[in-house]
A and B are shown apart, each in its own frame.
Chain A
Amino acid sequence: MIDLAVNLLRLGLGLGAVFFVGHGIQALALPISGEWRKLEQAAMNFGLGTVALTLWMLALTLAGIPFSLQVTLVPPVALSGVILILKKRSEKGMVRRAHPAENRKPKTENLVWDRIFLALLALLLLFATLRATFYPMWAWDEIATWGCKAQVYFMSLSLDLTCIEAHNYYPNLVPFLLTYLYLCLGQVNDHLAKAVFPLWGAMLLVILGFLLRRMGLTRTQTRGTVAFFALNGTVFIVHLHLAYADLALAYFALGGAGLIYLWLQDKAPRGSLAVAAVMFAGMAWCKYEGPPLAGTVLLAAALTLLWLRPPGLGGRLLRLGIPGAGLASGYLPWKVYLIKNQIEAGSDHIMGFYPHQLLPSLGYLVDGLFNPFYFGILWPAAFLALVWAGRRLFNSASLFLALFLGGNLLAVILAYVVAPTGAAEFEMYVRATLDRLLLHLTPVAALAVGEGVKELGEGPGANKSPALFPNPHHNPL
């Protein structure tokens, strides 16, 4: 019992350090932190912290320095501490801008529903946390890839790929994070370390909630939409307790795409593009599918700007270079490692062009989107919300959501058309991957649902075009 308490304390301190490192990075990114709510900051800090810590571990690898708790943890924590102290000094005497939500009258549209939605989410997270921490890793990719690598890295105190032959080119954010937690625990404890995944899911839900609030949803609408996302189908729920990288990618994709979406609407708090840049780095560094996914966010944002032609178009397009730089900073260090070690990337997923796989892929995709087993009725609801928007879709930033989601659904089909599988194993290959590819996009689809939900609460006199760049001079950097 004492052992368990000590381990829980070590785990808590280890995870706390991740938040602290993220807090330091966010302090660098945000001019004045008063525009961000504490909980919102914490949810972002977790992602920023994981990116910083694990990229630091990659830097140690490239420098040939073996992992240890001191070497892994002390420099990033010390750097964060220095940043926070300097930030505090520089902010002395400055007036913090109030969060826009603070200026609104507190609305409690429906206290009963508020509590019901919160209770549902709390029950889900309780189940996921117990499920993750009571049972050891035994799902396929936990023991074949992510957990296996973490165990080897911990034992050899380095990025040792001797146990992996097929997927050694996969980025290492998740294995490094697990390795770091093993260093904190002083042992390979794969059930306690899994606590990080329900935490990741909870942070994703918090980010989703704040994005929806900033989009203009009321509190009840926000909580309802978050519950609608979390409790629809089995895929998200199962990934809350699996040591896979897909939940992490979904988190970073939501953070990156969501902040860009707010920025397109001039609803983003200052510093959003810089925070989005770190989210883009996280996308590139946590999964092989991350860089193209991040690329589609940038492409959808650029196309939306070009279509809508807001004032200061050129400057806005240039500012997309900030998240673009984040993408490069998450992608390039690992690419350098791969080149240096002559590791070939991606040949087991991308080989040639197999047009006969096109139609079956389309069928599987439709099944993945509409079969309630996977995502319930979330995707049909998202499509309805986009259709509901009607012509407004083409003269508002909602176009970004449509382009991002539509473009990625096409990309999923393309991914299966270039996948080198035999006829006999094609179905198995799709079934083993499709739900996860859709999971990366589903939180962003929930933003589309949010747009539809917002419409429900708007009366006839409400502004029907909230996303038409109401203040072109506002610079949310």
Chain B
Amino acid sequence: MTKAKVWLVRAILLLWSVQLIWLAWYFAPEVKELAQSVADRRLGEEVRREDPYYRWLQSLAGLIPSGATYIFLDDYEAGKEIIARYHLIPRKHVLLSPNVPPIFLFYKVRQEKAAFVIIRDKERPPGPGLSAALGSPAFQPLDVPGPGLVLQVDYLKVRGEFYD
């Protein structure tokens, strides 16, 4: 092996050693948290229950019948609606934007025979669709403590057979 190659190998080994130290530093917080979970024997469902959003979804699961359809108003990019869908299976999940216009929201409620409309973030100013829903007797707000808003819907009272 030439001298240059020897130095190259040494350089690679040195860089790898640095990489190992960096990996130890990078994963240290995760290892610490994991060690705590192991010490407390906190696993699976117990870890999940620490999340208030999950607890809210659990209360929704108790409310929405398993064969029902619900419309979830949220931005896909927030990554929260996939969590809702995962925990509310087998209920049918329909995602719409929080800024959905009234006509399309009403149409979807009618088409999907939705029993609930769920708004993930109740602090966010209501979009046009939600504002219209709140003013309609077909949508009844329910008192479910949590980060979002839950409306029970009687889709038969919604006029929305046609959408263009």
Instruction: Report A's interface with B, CB cutoff 8 A.
Output: 120, 127, 130-131, 133-138, 140, 143-144, 147-148, 151-152, 155-156, 162-163, 189-192, 228, 231-234, 237, 372, 376-377, 381, 384, 388, 455-456
State whether A377 touches B12 (Cβ < 8 A).
Answer: yes
Q: Give the nearest-CB partner of B19 in chain A.
A: A376
State whether B79 touches A237 (Cβ < 8 A).
Answer: no
A sample of 16 cross-chain residue pairs with beta-carbon separation below 8 angstroms, ordered by A number, consists of A120-B20, A130-B38, A135-B37, A135-B43, A136-B45, A137-B86, A138-B48, A138-B83, A140-B79, A140-B82, A148-B86, A152-B89, A228-B16, A231-B19, A233-B23, A372-B19
State whether A237 touches B19 (Cβ < 8 A).
Answer: no
Number of A-B contacts (CB under 8 A): 87
Assess A381 versus B83: contact at CB under 8 Å? Given A130-B38, A134-B47: no
Residues of A within 8 A of B27 (CB): 127, 237
State whether B44 touches A134 (Cβ < 8 A).
Answer: yes
Minimum CB–CB distance for A152 against chain B, Å: 6
Contact of B7 with A by CB under 8 A: no
State whether A162 touches B38 (Cβ < 8 A).
Answer: no
Minimum CB–CB distance for A424 against chain B, Å: 11
Once bound together, how far apart are the Cα atoms of A384 and B44, in whole Å? 44
Contact of B26 with A by CB under 8 A: yes
Q: Give the nearest-CB partner of A455 in chain B.
A: B1
Minimum CB–CB distance for A33 against chain B, Å: 37
Residues of B within 8 A of A456 (CB): 1, 9
Minimum CB–CB distance for A75 against chain B, Å: 28
State whether A152 touches B90 (Cβ < 8 A).
Answer: yes
Out of B5, B8, B22, name the residue touching A372 (CB < 8 Å).
Answer: B22
State whether B12 touches A131 (Cβ < 8 A).
Answer: no
Residues of A within 8 A of B43 (CB): 133-135, 191
Once bound together, how far apart are the Cα atoms of A455 and B82, in whole Å? 50
Contact of B30 with A by CB under 8 A: yes
Residues of A within 8 A of B83 (CB): 138, 143
Minimum CB–CB distance for A185 against chain B, Å: 12
Main SS class of interface, B: helix
Minimum CB–CB distance for A74 against chain B, Å: 27
Once bound together, how far apart are the Cα atoms of A234 and B79, in whole Å? 22
Known: A148-B85, A233-B23. 5 other contacts (CB 8 A): A144-B82, A192-B44, A372-B19, A372-B22, A377-B16
Q: Which of B1-38 contact A (CB under 8 A)?
A: 1, 5, 8-9, 12, 15-16, 19-20, 22-23, 26-27, 30-31, 34, 37-38
Contact of B92 with A by CB under 8 A: yes
Assess A156 versus B16: contact at CB under 8 Å? Given A131-B30, A136-B47: no
Once bound together, how far apart are the Cα atoms of A354 and B48, in whole Å? 42
Assess A237 versus B23: contact at CB under 8 Å? Given A131-B34, A148-B85, A152-B90: yes
Assess A231 versus B89: contact at CB under 8 Å? Given A140-B82, A377-B16: no
Closest 7 CB pairs of A and B: A191-B44, A143-B86, A144-B82, A134-B43, A376-B19, A377-B15, A136-B48
Q: Give the nearest-CB partner of A191 in chain B.
A: B44
Out of A134, A137, A144, A192, name the residue touching B37 (CB < 8 Å).
Answer: A134
State whether A147 touches B90 (Cβ < 8 A).
Answer: no
Once bound together, how far apart are the Cα atoms of A376 and B15, in whole Å? 9
Interface centre among B20, B23, B44, B89 (most CB of A within 10 A): B44
Once bound together, how far apart are the Cα atoms of A234 and B12, in whole Å? 18
Once bound together, how far apart are the Cα atoms of A227 and B97, in whole Å? 47
User: Residues 28-61 of chain B: 1 if any A CB is under 8 Å from the residue's CB, otherwise 0?
Assistant: 0011001001100011110110000000000000
